[in-house]
Amino acid sequence: MKNSALGIPLSLSEPARAAPPPTDDIFDKLAAGDAATLAKCISLMETGGPAADLIHRRICAKTGRAAVIGFTGAPGAGKSTLIDAYIAVLRGRGAKIAVAAVDPSSPVGGGAILGDRVRMRRHALDPDVFIRSVASRGHLGGLSESIHRVVDVMDAAGHDFIIVETVGTGQSEVEVAEIAEVCVVVNAPNMGDEVQAMKSGVLEIADILVVNKADLPLAQRTTKQLRDMLKLRRSRQDISILETVATKDTGIDALSGAIDGLLAKRTGDKQKSRQRRLRRLIAQTASRLMNDRMREFSGDAMDELMRKAATGEIGIAEAAAQALSLVRP
């Protein structure tokens, strides 16, 4: 049992009351920023279940101090390299940083292939930079639930900045916007149709648009396209567009400054932002609970409901409402 050091059974089938409470030692070590303890706690947060809930409950009141920054964008835009360079700027100020890189590896299986060390090599040996891949579960609400908990644990471990990196195609972008106080969307020149097509939605969630690899041909065209798109959306005139060359540390100070500017504006909303994250986590968990119950639910009443829906006797909305009342606690 991988996490037996925590004294918490990992099995999800064991009821919550069977789990011995985590010892205070764990919480002391976590608050002191002990990397091994943090790593174990994150694994538990990803696994979910009663053990995750117990730990999360204990650390919940100690969260809300860290700034949470989201980085998203298509594969190949250079997100990891950009984050690597951004971390260097933050480290220059003495900040402690944790990175949760949401790995698209495994929608069903759950196992991440990308090692943490592949990403952000520059800081691999720095004890004040904690980098962790978090597997994207792909289940309804799955990513949000675990990433919210992971961010909370990183927060409780005393990190000043928590960077959440996601590969941006649809769902995960929205989720990063829900978690992060500032959301950076990374673009690169000349990335093909599908990537271009992403931008319309991305404008809704971006606080800062970065055109990375700005030394490549066509970079200026990409920047211009983004500017033109912004002009069409009066509601988002406040989005900055910045050019960077992450591999050469070009433009990173400007990016860091833009992020700081947004964070400073939002300081008053810090507690509100924490409340919103918590509420979202509760809603996601409730939704997943309900979905689990729906999947497992069977019986004559459900069969009858399915028959009625299949023949069109009742519509899907009515069927869904009836199903909810069938499975309610």
Residues between 259 and 298 with contacts to a second copy, criterion CB under 8 A: 274-275, 278-279, 281-287, 289-291, 294-295
Q: Which of 19, 41, 97, 143 binds a second copy (CB under 8 A)?
A: 143
Q: Is 247 in the site for a second copy (CB under 8 A)?
A: no
Our CB check for a second copy shows the closer of 163 and 198 to be 198
Least Cβ distance, residue 281 to a second copy (angstroms): 6
Structure tokens, 244: 């960077």
Coil, strand, or helix at residue 70? strand
Our CB check for a second copy shows the closer of 43 and 169 to be 169
Q: Which stretch binds a second copy (CB under 8 A): 188-196, 215-223, 249-257, 260-268?
A: 188-196
Q: Is 170 in the site for a second copy (CB under 8 A)?
A: yes
Least Cβ distance, residue 147 to a second copy (angstroms): 12
The residue count for binding a second copy (CB under 8 A) is 90
Please list every residue from 54 through 83 that binds a second copy, using CB under 8 A: 54, 56-61, 74-76
Q: How far apart are the first and last CA of the chain?
A: 33
Please list every residue from 4 through 23 that binds a second copy, using CB under 8 A: 16
Our CB check for a second copy shows the closer of 125 and 235 to be 235
Sheet with 97-103, edge to edge strand ranges: 129-135, 97-103, 161-167, 67-73, 182-187, 208-211, 240-243
Please list every residue from 123 through 142 that binds a second copy, using CB under 8 A: 136, 138-141
Phi and psi, residue 69, nearest 5°: -115, 130
Our CB check for a second copy shows the closer of 142 and 251 to be 142
Using DSSP, how many helices (H) and how many strands (E) does the chain show? 12, 7
Residues contacting 210, CB < 8 A, separation 6+: 73, 82, 184, 185, 186, 187, 241, 242, 243, 244, 251, 255
Our CB check for a second copy shows the closer of 7 and 104 to be 104
On whether the CB atoms of residues 211 and 187 are closer than 8 A, the answer is: yes
Structure tokens, 143: 């990513």
Q: Which of 171, 225, 247, 250 binds a second copy (CB under 8 A)?
A: 171
On whether the CB atoms of residues 177 and 68 are closer than 8 A, the answer is: no
- How far apart CA 6 and CA 45 sit, in angstroms, is 13
Our CB check for a second copy shows the closer of 13 and 311 to be 311
Q: Which stretch binds a second copy (CB under 8 A): 122-130, 190-198, 214-222, 250-258?
A: 190-198
Please list every residue from 307 through 326 that binds a second copy, using CB under 8 A: 309-312, 314-321, 323-325
Q: Which stretch binds a second copy (CB under 8 A): 6-14, 107-115, 120-128, 214-222?
A: 107-115
| Strands annotated E in the chain | 67-73, 97-103, 129-135, 161-167, 182-187, 208-211, 240-243
Please list every residue from 200 through 239 that binds a second copy, using CB under 8 A: 200-205
Least Cβ distance, residue 90 to a second copy (angstroms): 24
Give residue for tokens 């910045």.
242
Least Cβ distance, residue 247 to a second copy (angstroms): 15
Our CB check for a second copy shows the closer of 164 and 195 to be 195
Coil, strand, or helix at residue 241? strand
Structure tokens, 165: 């990196």
Our CB check for a second copy shows the closer of 128 and 165 to be 165
Give residue for tokens 């204990």.
58
Report the residue count for the chain: 329
Tell me the sheet residues that pair with 98. 130, 162
Least Cβ distance, residue 158 to a second copy (angstroms): 17
